[in-house]
Amino acid sequence: MRGIMLSLALCLVPFFGLSESLTYRLDPESEALFTVSDNFLSVAYDTWLLYAADFSNPQFLQLVKLLSPMYFRIGGTTADIVIFVDDSNTEQVHIRDDDVIILTASYWLELTEFAKKAGVRILFDLNSLTRNEDGSWNSENAEQLIRFSRENDIDLDWELGNEPDIYYLTFNTSVSANQLAQDYNKLRALLDQYEYDSSYVVGPSMFDVGNGEGTKAYLREFLSGASSSIYAVSWHQYYFSGLTATEADFLNTDYFNFLEERTKVVTGIVGSSNKVWLAETSSCNNRGAEGKSDRFLASFLWLDKLGLTAKLGVDLLVRQTIWGYNYPLLNNEYGPNSDWWISILHKKVVGSTVIPLTNDGEDSRPVRLYAQCAKSDSLWGDEAVVVFGLNLADSPQTFTLSGIGASDVDVSIGYLFELTPETDLYSNNVRLNGEVLSLTEDLELPDLTPKYVGQKNYKDLKDMLYQGSILFLDANQKASGADLGLLLIDVLIKSEDKSTEIWCRKLSTLFAKIGTTYATERDSFLVQAVKWSSLGSSRGDPALHQYIAKVYWDELNYNQARHHYIHSQDGKNCAKLLIEFQMTKGFKCEIDLFVAQAVLQFLCLRNQITASQTFTTYTENHPTIKKTEPPYLLPLLNFLWFLLQALETKKLQTFAVLCEQYQKSLERDPCYLQYLDKIGQLFFGLKPPQPKKSGGLFGSLIDNFLEGLEDGSDDDDESARGNPAPSTSRQLLESADLD
């Protein structure tokens, strides 16, 4: 299926197979291809949308902030009709006509304050078409804005004009490359005059470079006159028109390769003289394709652009647009579209150093991969490589990823971020490793936990995950700690680890550290831990239940502690818990009830030894009882003692008489009758009760007993089952008086 993949590994991802001789070779030891800007992934806000977005909206602010650090470019075609007006002493300003947009000082302060709060840096595109009669740039209005910005301590970087190479189409005018170079030199001098000497100037923001010799010549001429005045050479790129775009266009490898062609033209002209910025870009121009360029369908082009431009030496790219039109990262309600999630994951995982990654396939290949150093993370450390890319085919594709540096590098640990649409290619929502991504109620990111892949060296990985979880939990990062704990359990399952006792103890330590405040995370962790320890059964390992019970006991959660002791084999501590539970929470008349239910439940789980241990420890240590054998003052305790002895005889007659004699005591809790029916079936051959018969449990016991007499003697029946001869305790049961 078509999907986007970010697979992260320590120097190598060794978990793919060979298909159609497609091999990628990773060489992390060779010299880096490029190191891109920390602001590599940046966004734009179109000047035509000034006053349209709500910059006071807290969700808008938060979702921009989550993408920081980056540039927040304010520009576009209509940048060349923007006029700055200081409205400090004016009641009202007419802000828009067809041929002019007024940028008021008050709105400029609102914009820049938004950027400051979001932790992003503004790149502002000045109006280049305020011209003098001789064709030179009239900088008076720009100077007003620069002066006002300096007076208000606003730090930002600058452009001058938008797509001057097609002014003849957009404004029926033209500015030569030589004149534009002089204008940029003038802007640089103006900024220096107002102590903006550390601010960057970026240009010429051409629409396209390479669609003809004229555009190449325009860029060369501009650089010959303004190279020293600009920090980065900028141009714009779109794959096709949004007015005619089809689904097939978004998945056509020819269009993917078009970006490489154009980028090489620009970098070839610029050389090493300046940085190269792709200062405005998206899938398709003309404000995007409605219902397509803001969906998962367009995410293939976006992620490929992030990888390919870095590989080709582009220092920074600006996504058109953060909000508005048909290709935004955020929808009209400031919620995230699929490309916003792609951008977030890229920001979280992908570092700035580009690593060589070559392949032996054709440019039309459906699998496209890129490699960069990974950002440091507690999970994979600070020496990892992220290999990311996409599969354009409508079926799974496999490939070989080869090449390793030092022989002592551990390549067995890998992590996978697999991004797929929630439903289909036209989804706005994204799944990460199968789970739909959504913001928390507090507008924070969900836990973006990768899936572990590659399963050769489990020991180090398990230890790393355990220690990482401990570090998070001790730092009060409970959710992250629980996530690592779940990842640890997943590895335990896949590695088929048989060290159950060791990991039961360690998992209970994590369970205790998660604490009671994070109930949802804790419950999920416990469910998965029990599932891992069950080894095919539904109950889980008794050792795990024993450790979990002790955690709950320490928290004075007696009900949960009792529940887990019932599934353990620790009768002594179960009894001690029951004594404390009864004396703390129970009534005096319930002394026998607390132990009776536990003993009967143990027997229903076929745990005869633990049932006996629990009863003995309880009666020996409860301060009101303090006896090791009957007669007890409480009839129910005598019944339990005789029942435990009767289990050795397995004679239905003895069991039936015992239940009949103590019927009054057993009726104190209706559950006892259900437990005894089950015990009769498990230990005494009692048939399941027939629904149509009356008489209840005791009627069933008598009926089964009579049927047994008709079938033959008890001794013959015992012999057929291979039961041992009567023991001393059996004789005692048969001769003892029943109260």
Averaged pLDDT, 66-94: 91
Provide the pLDDT for residue 74. Answer: 98
Provide the pLDDT for residue 548. Answer: 95
pLDDT at 386 over 90: no
Provide the pLDDT for residue 136. Answer: 97
pLDDT at 363 over 70: no
317 phi/psi in degrees, rounded to 5: -130, 150
Q: Picking from 539-543, 573-577, 704-708, 723-727, which range would have the lowest pLDDT averaged per residue?
A: 723-727
Provide the pLDDT for residue 493. Answer: 84
Give one word for 320, left, alpha or beta, with left for phi > 0 and alpha for psi -120 to 50: beta
Same fold, 457-568 and 575-688: yes
Q: How far apart are CA 345 and CA 448, in angstroms?
A: 8
DSSP class per residue in 165-189: GGHHHHTS----HHHHHHHHHHHHH
Q: Picking from 77-91, 135-149, 281-295, which range would have the lowest pLDDT averaged per residue?
A: 77-91
DSSP letter (8 states) at residue 632:
P
Provide the pLDDT for residue 652. Answer: 87
Averaged pLDDT, 180-201: 97
Q: How far apart are CA 239 and CA 277, in angstroms?
A: 17
pTM over cut 0.85: no
Residue pLDDT, tens place only, 122-146: 999 999 999 999 999 999 999 999 9
Provide the pLDDT for residue 728. Answer: 26
Q: 591 falls in which pLDDT band (50, 70, 90)?
A: very high
Listed by start position, the domains of the chain span: 36-347, 457-568, 575-688
Q: Picking from 44-58, 147-161, 381-395, which range would have the lowest pLDDT averaged per residue?
A: 381-395
Provide the pLDDT for residue 739. Answer: 33
Averaged pLDDT, 297-302: 93
What percent of the chain is modeled with pLDDT above 90?
63
Residue pLDDT, tens place only, 391-432: 777 666 666 666 544 444 444 457 788 888 899 899 999 988
pLDDT at 608 over 50: yes
Q: Which CATH class is domain 36-347?
A: alpha beta
DSSP class per residue in 485-525: HHHHHHHHHHHT---HHHHHHHHHHHHHHHTTT-HHHHHHH
DSSP letter (8 states) at residue 323:
B
Q: How far apart are CA 412 and CA 573, in angstroms?
A: 42
What percent of the chain is modeled with pLDDT above 70?
83
Q: How far apart are CA 393 and CA 708, in angstroms?
A: 70
For the beta carbon of residue 509, count every other beta carbon within 10 angstroms.
17
DSSP letter (8 states) at residue 315:
-
Provide the pLDDT for residue 5. Answer: 52
Q: 15 falls in which pLDDT band (50, 70, 90)?
A: very low
Q: Picking from 19-33, 264-278, 304-318, 497-511, which range would have the lowest pLDDT averaged per residue?
A: 19-33
Q: How far apart are CA 265 and CA 276, in angstroms?
A: 11
For residue 737, which amino acid is it?
D
Q: 27 falls in which pLDDT band (50, 70, 90)?
A: low
Residue pLDDT, tens place only, 709-719: 333 333 333 33
Q: Between 117 and 502, where is the model more confident?
A: 117
Mean pLDDT across the chain, nearest whole number? 85
Angle at which helices 338-349 and 299-311 cross, to 10°: 30
Provide the pLDDT for residue 690. Answer: 63
Residue pLDDT, tens place only, 222-277: 999 999 999 999 999 999 999 999 999 998 888 999 999 999 999 999 998 899 99
Residue pLDDT, tens place only, 694-737: 444 444 444 443 343 333 333 333 333 333 332 222 222 233 33
CATH number of 575-688: 1.25.40.10
Identify whether the C-beta of residue 546 lies closer than 8 Å to the C-beta of residue 535: no
C-alpha count within 13 angstroms, C-beta hemisphere, residue 709: 6
The 10 Å CB-count burial string (b at 16+, else e) for 282-293 is: bbbbebbbeebb
- Specify the CATH architecture of the domain 457-568: Alpha Horseshoe (1.25)
Q: How far apart are CA 123 and CA 144, in angstroms?
A: 17
Q: Picking from 348-352, 381-385, 507-511, which range would have the lowest pLDDT averaged per residue?
A: 381-385
Provide the pLDDT for residue 41. Answer: 98
pLDDT at 12 over 60: no
